[in-house]
Amino acid sequence: MKRNHPLDQIRNIGIMAHIDAGKTTTTERILYFTGLTHKIGEVHEGSAVMDWMTQEQERGITITSAATTCHWHDFKINIIDTPGHVDFTVEVERSLRILDGAIFLLDAKEGVEAQTEAVWHQAEHYNVPRLVFINKMDVIGADFNDSLESIRTRLKGNPIALQIPMGCEKDFEGVISLIDMKAYYNTGDNGEIITKSEIPEPYIQEAKDNRLKLLETLSEYDDEMMMLYLESELISEEIIVKTLRRLTLENILTPVLCGSAYKNKGVQLLLDSIINFLPSPMDRPVISGHQKDGEPSSRDADDQAPFSALIFKVMSDPYVGRLSYMRVYSGKISVGNALLNTTKGKKERLSKILQMHANNRTEIEEALTGDIVAVIGLKFSTTGDTLTDMNHPIIFEAIEFPEPVISRAVEPKTPGDFEKMEDALKRLTEEDPTLTTYNHPETGQKLISGMGELHLEVILDRLEREFNVKVNTGKPQVTYKETLQSSITVDYELNNQAGNQVLYAYVKLMIKPNARGQGHTFECTFKERNFPKAFIDATYFGIKQSLQSGFLGGYEVVDLHINILDLHMKDDVSTDIAFMTSASRCITKALKEGQSVLLEPIFNVDIHVSDSYIGDVIDDINKRNGNILDMKPSHTGNLVKASVPLSKLFGYATTLRSITHGHGYYSMMFSHYDETK
């Protein structure tokens, strides 16, 4: 198959932001202006193409990331529209893992918000170059400069304004480009006509001042620009764009644009900036991985290189079955080709390759380097798995996901639906790595665990609508953890007779708490020469198994340093099982005799409230065992930042509405685990 777009004319981007910043609205305008759709879908009407799930249309929010492909000026743009709600952060995490660039949207009234920070740090983790689009310049309280400053203060970013707005709120007319020093207006029924003109008199001095800042900033990081700037030479648009592109790709600067997607202003200029400043697959570092033996390996972004791809999402489709979304990093693949899942060591075969447009699809015969496609036919592959051709294996870094923090008990309303419910939950957990299910060790209840109340509400709704399984549910329960407060040394000698066999093992451990969030660390200072390695391995296995269920309620044990101090064996009566058992009982003994404590999830909460109700809001937070972290003025009156145990936040939305008579609102995101109060 002949490539329609050279690799340097492909852009794989994601659109990300806090909830209600306008991600889906912006994506809908991009689809319209690029000619992919002929009618603009609106989120508030439930007609947005990218919000195709029933739950999304009813709630007016994005729940699952949706992929599509459009074209702009001979460039191919693969877009993933991601959720902004903290409960669905997994969708952002796995999207950033496979994207080359990202657009961050800010609400011009609010600037950087809580989820913006979380997603920004995720992008930094994957070293993804990004643009910022300050949206909603037409709303009351919009402030371009405040939003720009919030990028510096809250994100510790290095923003560089490429545009300034002409007016704001109801007087927002258009934007001024600081690159070519022209004013841009959108006219026509849907803003499809772009008019370029000279800068109006009231904005000339402001534009000159901001262009000077632009050139000064570029000169700080580029020698050629510095020479031209110092010599007062005329600096061409081409040199500015070239320098900006390099500095953006190197994550030194973040270009900032502005507009109003809902009013169809500034979106075409955003598309131009995607082409000009965000990377192609060729601009990204070579994708690295390792061989089965751990030896480092890599793949070039080249159609002629061996095929390699990463599965970043799995979905159950009622019409075609299991859909696996993949990013092709090298080579090409055709329908019917045999593949190797190097993560699991399993052979796979593709039956169909699909180009996705939200929940619609077009069959294609081949996928090439840089493509983001969905495939049918994979039986074993799950999120984070690597696929390669049969003869050139490589394993890419897996995707890490946050742990669930809230649980609910579920049971089918009719006993005959039990297997149906189990099958549905299995398929949902394959789709969503932050959804887990397990049976409570004491009650035997089936528990589902997720990232928040809304996350579990959506799962329960999907059980009924998509899988026709009606369930009874218990109240939400917090997922606690357990750890030790102080160091303890314990030993256990197993000397039991099981039938005709005597089992013997002696294990001595020193256990101490690690820093919160550090996880477990292991050490073995026992150095007896010729001691069987199998018995040491069995001791480690017994330790790790017993840490999965603690003493105070069967919760997972976390953040311990465990040192194997001593091991004893006896010929003929010591076995792997004996050492596993002895090690496990050491852990149980330590948790019983040591100062074991429960940890609960703590959330950071941003509450927007007017002066009239701020005292009542703070009193309520104190009653919930929360801590006030900060208070500062905002466009809504005040922003109260607090940290509150999740167990005290159930039903908070209703309480806040009551306290503020419907005028307050909040957002929250997971912060850390801490001791229960």
pLDDT tens-digit profile of 187-210? Answer: 988 888 999 999 999 999 999 999
Residue 362 has pLDDT above 50, yes or no: yes
The token pair that represents 509 in the structure block: 């451990």
pTM of the entire predicted model: 0.73
Nearest-angstrom CA–CA distance, 278 and 365: 28
Cα dihedral sign, 164-167-172-176: negative
Residue 413 has pLDDT above 90, yes or no: no
Residue 53 has pLDDT above 60, yes or no: no
pLDDT in tens, 329-339: 999 999 988 99
Q: Say what the pLDDT of residue 441 is.
A: 60
The token pair that represents 301 in the structure block: 């972004």
309: how many CB neighbours lie within 10 A of its CB?
29
Task: Residue 398: name the closest of 380, 388, 383 by CA.
Answer: 383
Q: Which residue has the higher pLDDT, 93 or 138?
A: 138
Which residue is listed with tokens 């729940």? 63
Q: Say what the pLDDT of residue 354 is.
A: 87
Which residue is listed with tokens 């937070």? 621
Tell me the pLDDT of the chain averaged across its residues.
Answer: 87
Q: Say what the pLDDT of residue 461 is.
A: 85
How many CA atoms lie within 13 Å of 146's alpha carbon, on the beta-carbon side?
Answer: 15
Burial class (CB in 10 A: 0-12, 13-18, 19+), 500: exposed
Q: Say what the pLDDT of residue 82 is.
A: 75
Average pLDDT over residues 505-525: 93
Task: Residue 608: name the closest of 654, 664, 652, 657 by CA.
Answer: 664
Average pLDDT over residues 563-576: 91
Q: Say what the pLDDT of residue 83 is.
A: 67
Q: What are phi and psi of 429, to 5 degrees?
A: -70, -25
Residue 69 has pLDDT above 60, yes or no: yes
Question: Which band of pLDDT confidence, cut at 50, 70 and 90, is reported for residue 283?
Answer: very high
Q: For residues 372 and 324, is the Cβ–Cβ distance under 8 A? A: no
Average pLDDT over residues 271-282: 95
pLDDT in tens, 620-665: 999 999 999 988 887 667 889 999 998 888 878 778 888 888 777 7
Q: E strands within 153-270?
A: 159-161, 163-166, 174-177, 182-187, 193-197, 254-258
Q: What are phi and psi of 370, to 5 degrees?
A: 90, -10
Residue 169 has pLDDT above 50, yes or no: yes
Nearest-angstrom CA–CA distance, 410 and 420: 13
Q: For residues 65 and 268, is the Cβ–Cβ distance under 8 A? A: no
Average pLDDT over residues 396-420: 83
Q: For residues 510 and 549, is the Cβ–Cβ distance under 8 A? A: no
Which residue is listed with tokens 């303890």? 488
Residue 213 has pLDDT above 60, yes or no: yes
Please spell the DSSP secondary structure of 44-60, one letter per residue. TTT--SS--SHHHHHHT
pLDDT in tens, 70-127: 899 989 999 887 765 555 667 777 788 889 999 999 999 989 887 788 788 888 888 9
Residue 43 has pLDDT above 60, yes or no: no
Q: Say what the pLDDT of residue 56 is.
A: 43
As beta bridge partners, residue 375 has 324, 353
As beta bridge partners, residue 510 has 489, 563
Q: Say what the pLDDT of residue 57 is.
A: 47
Average pLDDT over residues 307-319: 83
Residue 61 has pLDDT above 70, yes or no: no
Q: Say what the pLDDT of residue 55 is.
A: 46
Q: Say what the pLDDT of residue 75 is.
A: 94
419: how many CB neighbours lie within 10 A of its CB?
10
pLDDT in tens, 486-513: 999 999 999 887 667 788 999 999 999 9
Q: Which residue has the higher pLDDT, 440 or 352?
A: 352
Q: Say what the pLDDT of residue 51 is.
A: 44
144: left (phi over 0), alpha (psi -120 to 50) or beta: alpha
Nearest-angstrom CA–CA distance, 40 and 396: 39
Q: Say what the pLDDT of residue 496 is.
A: 83
Cα dihedral sign, 200-205-211-215: positive
